[in-house]
Every structure is written in C-alpha cells, then in structure tokens.
Amino acid sequence: MFNNQTITRLQQIETPFYYYDLEVLNNSLLACKQASSKYGYHVHYAMKANFNNKVLNAIQQFGFGADCVSGNEVKAAIEYGFDKNNIVFAGVGKSDKEINLALDTDIFCFNAESVEELFVIDELAKAKNKIANIAIRINPNVDAHTHHFITTGLDENKFGINTWQLDDVVKTLRNCSHLQFLGIHFHIGSQITDMEVYKNLCTRINEIQDWFAEKGFVVKILNVGGGLGVDYYNPDTNAISDFESYFKVFNQFLNVRVDQEVHFELGRALVAQSSALIARVLYVKNGLKKNFLVLDAGMTELIRPMLYQAYHQIENLSRNGESGNITEDNTPGLSIGKNVIQYDIVGPICESTDCFRKDVEMPISFRGDLIAIRTTGAYGEVMASSYNLRDRVKSVYSN
C-alpha cells in the first residue's frame, strides 16, 4: 500500500486524512465478484461500512446491489445509480418517513425486524396503494464467535425476530393485504473468520425455511447477511478476504430449492483493507511508566478501537515503515531491540478512552512523523464525528 513514492506524496498533505488505495479496493471487489458468480449468488454491499463517494462509485460499477439501514442510505443508493431492484432496507427502527421513502422509491425488499414493523409497513403501503416486498429478518440464535459488541444473532440481541415469534409473523403476513412475503433474512454479526459459524447458520436456515414451507409459504429469497471478516493483523500479506471459502460453505451446506435466490450483504470484507488513516505525531510524551505518542487523529476520526476494542496495525511511515506490532496471539514481542520502544498511541480528544492502542512497540518516533493506522476502510470514515468541534476528516486517493 505504501511505497516510497506514496509516502513522499502523503508527507506533503495536511493530516489527518483517510488514504484510499483504489487498486486494493478493486482487487477485493473483483475477488468477491468472481467467487460469488461461480454459484450465481447475489451480493449487496452494506453501505453503512463506507459511503465515501469514490468507494460507492467503484462498488456500483461492479454491479453489486445495496444493503441500506436508513432512509438516507436508500436515497444515496439511488443517487449513486444502484438499481432499485437491487436495494434492500434493513434496520430495527425504521421510521414512518423512511418507510414511505422506500415505498416511493419502489425498492426491492424490506427486511422486517418485528411484527409491529410489519403492521406499520402494511398500513403505509396501503395508503399508497402499493404492495411492499418483505423478507423476515430472523434471529437464528447462532453464536458468531466474534467480539460480543458486534454479535447480532443471539436471543439477547435487539435485531431480528426470534423463532418463537414466527407463528405471529405468519398470521400477520396472512392478514396484511399489502405485504408480499419474499423470503427470510439473517445477519448474525461482523468480523467473522470462523467458517464453522456459517455452516451452523446454514443448518438453522435449512430448518427455518422448511418450517415456512410447511406453513405453505414460498421462500423465494434466502438472504444470509454478511459479516465476513478481514485480517487486521496482516493487511499487506492478506489483503483480500477469503471469499472463495466463504461462498463455498454456503454452496456446501445451504439447501437451495429450485427458483430460489441466495443473497449476501457484505460490508467490511469488501472495503476494510482499502484504506488507512494517516496522522502525524504531534508530541512524544515520555513518562515514568509510559511513553505516549500523541497523534493529530483520535476517536473523532476513527472510533473503532474505543467503541469495540478493535485492533488496528499501526506503522510509522517516516521510520522505514518499521512497524511495532503484536502477533495475533496477543503476545507483545519481549525483546525490545535497538531503537524500538513501547508507546501508548493516543489522540488529542478530551477523553481518557481516546487511545488507539497501548504498549505498541514502535521505532523511536519523533514529532512530525507520519503514522498509518491500517485497515480502516470499514466503519472508519463513516463513524467520524466533529466532537470537540473538530474539522471533518478528509480523504485522499491513490489516483
């Protein structure tokens, strides 16, 4: 991602900013496209992961659909040229205004997350004399084996409809004349790297679709959600997620009936490796027990470490790109070699949690050094805020 020429270029630019490598993005999109088309699978991009305009344009041009979680995302999907027949709308708290907008836009499908929501969509569709396509988001109670902050498919989570409520759902679907049942939807969590988790999901989906079939419902769409993880520890040597294994699991374990479509909603795996947050060292604070690198970027630019205890690789681009990083088993290298020192890497925001990582082994660093925080293409720029009345973070592109 960073050759000397790129680093020289980035040195000239005011920090902080998100740097996007569009070649990395394209490679990832291509790998996903190739792996999914082998099985005729439909992939919708989960727009919330990154709605930067160059990123969205690239994804739209690849022909992916859009998975939206707000009315404004539906609107943006249309503006960016996504086909309305490839737009789905999920979310546990869709407002009337958002539902009306999606009805007016004639999107492909609502992923409905409660019986109450079904009644509201039916009523609003009736007022417009329209029929709303519905997929039922079901909580399959499958453990995603990921960080509990980003698990969504357990009984205790707010998302989706629990299986014991499905009798109610079926009754509601029968009684609501302006709803058209299309299929079932699942999304069990994010940053999933264990393919066994998806195998377990397939088993649950097979049971649940049989249940719907017994009730006399034709399940046309199986939407299995997203959540495929990326390698935060090896952003260069493992820049592309394992799309091949991912789609293969579904091909092996999901019972797909004749005329059924399988839909996916990937966010992170498509975009995460394509960006790094670039910052400068403002101050080096040497304490008795701790040394701090104070950067000019903080939780206002990238909140994942503070919000989810997320790991990001951090590199000092001004010191030969020597990185001080820990291994995946979380053991910091014990031997601190020549010119290597441990720092807590923190931001400028007035919160104690404004820390990217603690005890990071780094080459001895100085004021003005350029720092790259890697793998920030997903849930990075989109979560930026202006807390402390900070400037909105900028973006810079490889070409």
Ligand X SMILES: *Cc1c(COP(=O)(O)O)cnc(C)c1O
Of 103 and 228, which has the nearer Cβ to ligand X? 228
Q: By 3-state DSSP, what share of the chain in percent is helix, strand and coil, each rounded to 5? A: 35, 25, 40
Query: Minimal distance in Å, beta carbon 186 to ligand X?
Result: 9
Of 66 and 276, which has the nearer Cβ to ligand X? 66
Task: Report how many residues bind ligand X under the rule CB under 6 A.
Answer: 18
- For ligand X, which residue has the nearest CB? 267
Please tell me the total number of residues recorded for the chain in this structure.
399
What binding mask, one character per residue, do residues 213-252 give for ligand X by CB under 6 A, x or -? Answer: ------------xxxx------------------------
Select the residue interacting with ligand X from 1, 32, 43, 49 (CB under 6 A): 49
CA distances from 260 to 45, 250, 352, 384 (A): 20, 14, 51, 39
Name which of 374, 366, 327, 376 is nearest 343 in CA terms. Answer: 366
Site for ligand X contains 90 (CB under 6 A): yes
Query: Minimal distance in Å, beta carbon 157 to ligand X?
Result: 11
Query: Minimal distance in Å, beta carbon 159 to ligand X?
Result: 8
Site for ligand X contains 55 (CB under 6 A): no
Which residues ranging from 158 to 197 are in contact with ligand X (CB under 6 A)? 187, 190
Which residues in 70-107 are b (16+ Cβ under 10 Å) and which e? bbebbebbbebebeeebbbbbbeebeeebbbbbbebeb
Q: Mark the segment that binds ligand X (CB under 6 A) among 113-121, 265-273, 317-325, 339-347.
A: 265-273
Site for ligand X contains 315 (CB under 6 A): no
Query: Minimal distance in Å, beta carbon 266 to ligand X?
Result: 5
d(CA 52, CA 50): 6
Site for ligand X contains 266 (CB under 6 A): yes
Token pair recorded at residue 391:
């400037």
Of 59 and 281, which has the nearer Cβ to ligand X? 59
Counts of helices then strands in the chain (DSSP H, E): 11, 17
Determine the Cα angle at 232 with ends 228 and 238, to 5°. 80
d(CA 104, CA 64): 22
Select the residue interacting with ligand X from 140, 153, 267, 380 (CB under 6 A): 267
Site for ligand X contains 268 (CB under 6 A): yes
